[in-house]
Chains A and B, each alone.
Chain A
């Protein structure tokens, strides 16, 4: 399975600096092991979208509270709910490496994080290609836990999509997802094109491991 080496290296703290040969070799080895064990699955569907107040957005008949989500959706008149996972064996691989090789465990963590991102992007690109025919463009994915959208929104999002039954992601009592290499998101659809990646420059979290310099 494909993943961005650059992205994986950023998670490992390289921040754009070139990686050494040992690390690159490890990325290749772990990447192959990860590709062999992941069971990628995804699911999405379009649901109804209605603004109730500045904070409340009714999505698929359920009210989600978040001003930032509403702002994010301001040009959208349609919305998709989306979930994807690499499956339980991705976590298994990290645990296995943790037993005797911390370096591989850390690299696996980064590689799998890059893989789930790439996998989500691939699915979204396919949806985007379809929607473009209808004159719609995809907004970036917006997930529970982003900005002021509380992580507990996961529960409703899970119900909307029957995520546990359909692709096997479960929620802990604290609303974290297991398997861990999983993503859920709202994806707005708008008739105007927006930049695909949200700008990192405008974000206040300057310590974020995902932060990209210069954009």
Chain B
């Protein structure tokens, strides 16, 4: 019987530890256990045999760390190691009269993926793919285990699903607080992996069976997928320099049997410290326990890398601001690749109370698939809110879904066959909750019944793709009331029926209702309240609008969806606080005092009468000079300098907004360009980021190449952009060597370019030795040097 058919028929038993067993047989610290598949074949086979003898049903091949990164510099290839490992396990399995399955065992790559670390998602995918391709003909399932990063799991799952039809089991390592290393909680990991369609989900390693039990109960209550649990033999203890696990076989088996009795658990086994004796006891205690049938749960949930947002009685807010339609400043930012502006919009909406952020970068003049992918990747590095991937281009949608870390909202599919054929396969493959627009080949029906019919068609078609209605939210389309007096009524009627009668969640782009009318916020807020009363699950709104947020919090308070009015009171207290604490001061004072909101407001007011350039020269530059000089004299310190820089930036943003709206080219005069980068091998970028903000304040056009930048990339950019100054940052002694290599390259290939350097370990002396033109001992130093250089 194949593994999938066996699932749920009887309690299956995974084997126990391989690593700690090999250590007991002489594997040394630092030695790669997978090499023993070739050098100590019989030892490995004997361990497998012992587990078969103990009664285990599934053997984990000794391939946990068999990826190309770990085998770099060894004489072995990944495929020979993997094949030997699988053969060892298969040999032991074949000797048994019982049916014993062999799993390809995939552990973490050992590197952190971007944005937490340096490994590209696509590279992680390739590493796993190589192992899977080597093993796929000879294994019964793929076990992805001891995983602490949801993003890395996604890479492994995609590699498994795209290169085999084998069952995929994922078990993760949670800490005692119930969090993965990269911060995901249990529900977030579960919903993301259910979206990806894995066969079993669960826990291994990190904890013993006793500590794991509450987590198993928790996941069992929300999971629609069978659960596998492989705990350690207790928590590790260190005795005489040896890490050991001290739960006895009898205790282990007893605790494990309690886990096997939990809802949803269909397989158990062991991890670090467990021995054939533990598994033999476990077999006796657990194999007689019948797996319970699993009920399909009905949660409509989306997740980021770390947290889950549920659709329920309390409506959720989707921030609409990252969408270039009608927003010239955002358009300019997208065209120029100014991610900073997009990120600040994200943070502002999160601070404003958004639960999910819509991301739409659709502009005819950009490469939408590439920009959407990059923007989603960037955003998930700075916010823990789930994203709504908003595009009408299926290519862009797939690229964004592929690299999304979690289970996203997807915007959108509609009732046209073509749209459903393009979008539903992506939803099925990558997971997600999809926004369904009630329009089709015949357009948007002008009756509630017409829109309901389309909704029903979409729900039915989704089902035929294996997408349950819990993963749909229907948009009954807010059409501007200025073109039809019944428009709001039709939308709301359809909405109510779909939510209350069909039992499917709903969404609206709320502000569409008021196009063409004055004082749109008033109409929007009233319509928003009506929609929520009629069953709106999610509103796509502007969380920076006080009127909308007032309507939202008041609605929740009135409907008993806000315990003790906590959120309402929190909201009104925040908005009652004076928006401009320093009102009455001028822009210059606001910047000197580091008042960000105030500086922005003051700039906005000034822009009504004063030319942008005059504002810069009369207010901003003098203010920055005052602060800069204070910093150089040692009367003010870094935090104040940066608060002023941020305030000045807020003022500059207002100025840019006006320039963008006037349609004038962004730069009247050609600004002086500077390339900055943290050198190759170095991952510290706070110093470089500070320098960037200050240089930009002083009017320089900064091209920021980020961190860990190869010398060739810096050179190429500097040449292409024809810059005269490059700033390099390095924090560690070891990476200053790469700074020197970069400087050498410039001296040979582009000698006219000046190079300034900075970073914690650098000194004037050191900078001289590596041949830099200027050593900047602090953040202002680079500004002064750039001013001097470009004034010549």
Interface residues of chain A, those whose CB is within 8 Å of chain B, are: 12-14, 17, 19-20, 22-23, 26, 37, 39, 41, 44-48, 60-62, 87-89, 91-92, 94-96, 98-103, 105-107, 109, 145, 151, 156, 159-160, 162, 164-166, 168, 170, 172-176, 178-180, 207, 209
Contact = CB atoms under 8 A, between A and B. Distances in A.
B642 interface: yes
B753 interface: no
B177 A99 contact: no
Contacts of A47: 241
B732 A151 contact: yes
A129 to B, nearest CB: 17
Interface stretch (B109-117, B186-194, B601-609, B655-663): B109-117
B732 A12 contact: no
Contact of B181 (A39, A106, A176, A209): A39
Contacts of A178: 112, 116-118, 683
A87 B183 CA distance: 8
B665 interface: no
Given A45-B238, A91-B116, A39 B639 contact: no
Contact of B381 (A23, A95, A160): A95
A77 B596 CA distance: 57
A45 B241 contact: yes
B733 interface: yes
B110 A174 contact: no
A22 B595 CA distance: 10
A27 B684 CA distance: 21
Interface string B374-387: 00000001111000
B343 A99 contact: yes
Interface in B251-292: none
Given A101-B646, A159-B30, A13 B734 contact: no
A98 B704 CA distance: 13
Interface string B513-532: 00000000000000000000
Given A106-B690, A170-B110, A99 B382 contact: yes
B686 interface: yes
A170 B117 contact: yes
B733 A145 contact: yes
10 contacts: A20-B636, A26-B639, A39-B177, A45-B243, A87-B183, A88-B182, A160-B30, A165-B205, A174-B735, A178-B683
A108 to B, nearest CB: 9
A100 B343 contact: yes
B348 interface: yes
Contacts of B381: 92, 95
Contacts of B776: none
A91 B113 CA distance: 13
Given A12-B637, A106-B686, 15 more contacts: A17-B634, A17-B637, A22-B643, A37-B183, A60-B29, A61-B28, A88-B149, A92-B384, A95-B115, A96-B382, A100-B347, A102-B690, A159-B30, A168-B148, A170-B117
Nearest to B635: A17
B686 A172 contact: no
State the main secondary structure of chain B at its contact with A.
loop
Given A100-B348, A145-B733, A178-B683, A105 B689 contact: yes
A13 B642 contact: no
A94 B687 CA distance: 12
Interface in B673-692: 681-684, 686, 689-690
A211 B117 CA distance: 29
A20 B631 CA distance: 13
B344 A100 contact: yes
B646 A103 contact: yes
Q: Which 7 A-B pairs have the closest CB atoms?
A: A159-B30, A174-B681, A99-B343, A103-B642, A168-B181, A100-B344, A45-B238
B584 interface: no
A151 B682 CA distance: 13
Nearest to A156: B30
B476 interface: no
A170 B108 CA distance: 11
A58 B347 CA distance: 50
Interface of B: 28-30, 107-108, 110-112, 115-118, 146, 148-149, 175, 177, 179, 181-183, 205, 236, 238, 240-241, 243, 306, 340, 343-344, 346-348, 381-384, 594, 596, 634, 636-640, 642-643, 645-646, 681-684, 686, 689-690, 693, 708, 732-735, 760, 763, 778
A62 B243 CA distance: 17
Contact of B112 (A20, A106, A179): A179
A78 B646 CA distance: 51
B108 A164 contact: yes
Contacts of B735: 174, 176
A121 to B, nearest CB: 20
A102 B181 contact: no
A107 to B, nearest CB: 6
B3 to A, nearest CB: 27
Contacts of A98: 382, 686, 689
Contact of B639 (A48, A107, A145, A166): A107
Contacts of A17: 634, 637
Given A92-B116, A95-B381, A14 B29 contact: no
A22 B582 CA distance: 14
Contacts of B111: 170, 172
A10 to B, nearest CB: 11
A106 B116 contact: no
A102 B644 CA distance: 10
Nearest to A210: B760
Contact of A41 (B175, B596, B733): B175
A98 B341 CA distance: 12
A95 B683 CA distance: 12
Which of B179, B181, B346, B642 has the largest number of chain A CB atoms within 10 A?
A: B181
A176 B683 contact: yes
A145 B732 contact: yes
Nearest to A103: B642
A61 B645 CA distance: 52
B792 to A, nearest CB: 29
A206 B605 CA distance: 48
A80 to B, nearest CB: 9
Contacts of A19: 637, 639
Nearest to A152: B734
Contacts of A46: 238, 240-241
Contacts of A89: 182-183, 306
A102 B175 contact: no
Given A19-B637, A164-B108, A174 B682 contact: yes
A172 B681 contact: yes
Contacts of A13: 637-638, 778
Contacts of A207: 763
B383 A96 contact: yes
B639 A103 contact: yes
A95 B642 contact: no
A109 B596 CA distance: 20
